[in-house]
Amino acid sequence: MKHLMIKLIIAILFFSTTAIAVENEIATLRDKTKIDQQQEPNTIPKVINKDIKKSRNYPMQPPIIPHTARNYEVNLNNNKCLSCHNRNRTEESQAPMVSVTHFMNRDGNFLAEISPRRYFCNQCHVTQRDTKPLVENTFIDMHSLIKHKNSEE
Amino acid sequence: MKRFIQIGWKTLRRPSGYFSLGFLVIGGFVAGVIFWGGFNTALEITNTEEFCISCHEMENNVYEELKATIHFSNRSGVRATCPDCHVPHKWSDKIARKMQASKEVWGMIFGTIDTRDKFVAERRRLAQHEWTRLKSNDSLECRNCHNFEYMDFTEQSERAAVQHSTTLASGEKTCIDCHKGIAHELPDMKGVEGW
């Protein structure tokens, strides 16, 4: 009986410590705030509106939007983005034209209008906010990788 | 009975025969003030947001859409109500607009847009009315608050400054040419210039 009690106590201690460890691991985005507590939220950072193109982190990255896009309607009726970035609008707006790939359907044929599968701009293109990243990014650009490798040789 | 009507008619036809001239002048003046005050008060009541959204057509469609925009919620807490943009401030223009708006009462009674589907179907036509009005009066209702003379281009984003200091300054374009759908959702824009 006594042995059983000790075993039980050890088991309870063991499970409770693992539970705490697991809790700590999960709670990183909440900054280790207890589940019944709420952290004071940070102020919402502003959208970058400088109109200056950022370099892409990798060749296939959809370019980010360097301006605010509050209340831009992209729906069945309209596409506000295209009122500047469409092929026939860029002369007046001087905005970059949507890439030709956006006119291709899935069989690789070019259409006269934006392909429906590329219509919803903000599925890929997003605005950026002036803020520190929440998690550290260890991504290394391919070019720096090649450069590093070449310098080693 | 017949005598009463006769006296009433005679009083109406030649009031100076029954009342003193002073009474008629002063009485007429007072009655005029009361009538004018009442008329203007009634007019102002129809010029409030509460009056506009007392119809569900307005409250459930355009008012709901306005709530998400900068003209409803913004950093400084100044907001535009329906009549700020949709009713001219100058008296004669206001009366003209109010007379046009009597057709909207007709639409309300006969349910022209009493469901969301009906409203969406009519949306392009209704929006076109407003675009035409704002284009023809050089976006007067915008300019009641946004005065071009006091715009500081250096405070604007670069793109905005370029466009405001060129085409807007020269009068080639007016606010509504670019800022369609600034306060409400847009209809199907097929064929609209600039889309």
Q: What is the mean pLDDT of residues B96-114?
A: 89
What's the average model confidence in pLDDT over A18-22? 52
Q: Where are the domains of chain A?
A: 1-32, 44-132
Asked whether the predicted pLDDT for residue B125 surpasses 90, the reply is yes
pLDDT recorded at residue A17:
53
**What average pLDDT does this structure show over A55-65?**
90
> Does B194 contact A83 at a Cβ distance shorter than 8 Å?
yes
Residue A101 has pLDDT above 60, yes or no: yes
User: Which range (A26-30, B49-53, B96-100, B181-185) has the least confidence?
Assistant: A26-30
Q: How far apart (Å, rounded) are the C-alpha atoms in residues B183 and B177?
A: 14
Which CATH homologous superfamily contains domain A44-132?
A: Flavocytochrome C3; Chain A (1.10.1130.10)
Chain A, 67-126: which have a CB under 8 Å from a chain B CB? Answer: 67, 70-71, 73, 76-78, 80, 82-83, 89
The Cα of B113 is separated from the nearest Cα of chain A by a number of Å equal to 19
| Section A1-22 average pLDDT | 60
Q: Please, what is the average pLDDT of chain A? A: 84
Confidence at residue A11, expressed as pLDDT on a 0 to 100 scale:
61
- B interface toward A at CB cutoff 8 Å? 68-70, 157-159, 181, 185-189, 194-195
Q: Does A36 touch chain B (CB under 8 A)?
A: no
Mean pLDDT of chain B: 91
Q: Is the pLDDT of residue A22 over 60?
A: no
Q: Would you state the structure tokens that stand for residue B47, as one six-digit string? A: 């010029």
CA B168 – CA B174 distance, rounded (Å):
6
Q: pLDDT tens across B144-180, in order?
A: 999 999 999 998 988 889 989 999 999 999 999 999 9
Q: Residue A87 carries which side chain, given as an amino acid letter?
A: R
Contact B181 A78 (CB under 8 A): yes
Residues of A in contact with B158 (CB under 8 A): 50-51
Task: Determine what percent of chain B is predicted with pLDDT higher than 90.
Answer: 62
pLDDT given at position B7: 85
Most A CBs within 10 Å, among B125, B158, B173, B193, to test the A interface: B158
How high is the pLDDT of residue B17?
79
Q: Assess contact for A83 and A89: CB atoms under 8 A.
A: yes
| pLDDT tops 80 at residue A3 | no
Domain boundaries, chain B: 21-52, 55-186
Instruction: Verify whether the Cβ–Cβ distance B189 to A77 is below 8 Å.
Output: yes
Q: List the one residue out of A102, A139, A105 whose CA is nearest residue A124.
A: A102
Q: Which residue in A has a C-alpha nearest to residue B183's C-alpha?
A: A71
Q: What is the mean pLDDT of residues A1-8?
A: 66
**pLDDT at A28 > cutoff 70:** no
CA distances from A68 to A51, A71, A121, A123, B95 (A): 9, 9, 14, 16, 39
Q: Closest Cα to residue A87, out of A116, A110, A112?
A: A112
Among A51, A71, A89, whose Cβ lies nearest the Cβ of B157? A51
Tokens 């008329």 label which residue? B39
What is the arithmetic mean of pLDDT over A72-88? 91
**Stretch B13-37: mean pLDDT:** 90
Residue in chain B nearest A85 by alpha carbon: B195
CA distance A43 to B143: 33
Find the mean pLDDT for residues A38-61.
Answer: 87
Minimal C-alpha gap between B177 and chain A (Å): 12
Shortest alpha-carbon distance between residue A78 and chain B (Å)? 6
Do B94 and B88 meet the contact criterion of CB atoms below 8 Å apart? yes
Supply the pTM of this predicted model. 0.75
Cβ(B118)–Cβ(B112) under 8 Å? Answer: yes
How far apart (Å, rounded) are the C-alpha atoms in residues B174 and B183?
A: 16
pLDDT of amino acid B66: 94
pLDDT of B23 above 70 = yes
Distance CA B31, CA B37 (A): 10
Residues of chain B in contact with residue A70, where contact means CB-CB under 8 angstroms, are: 70
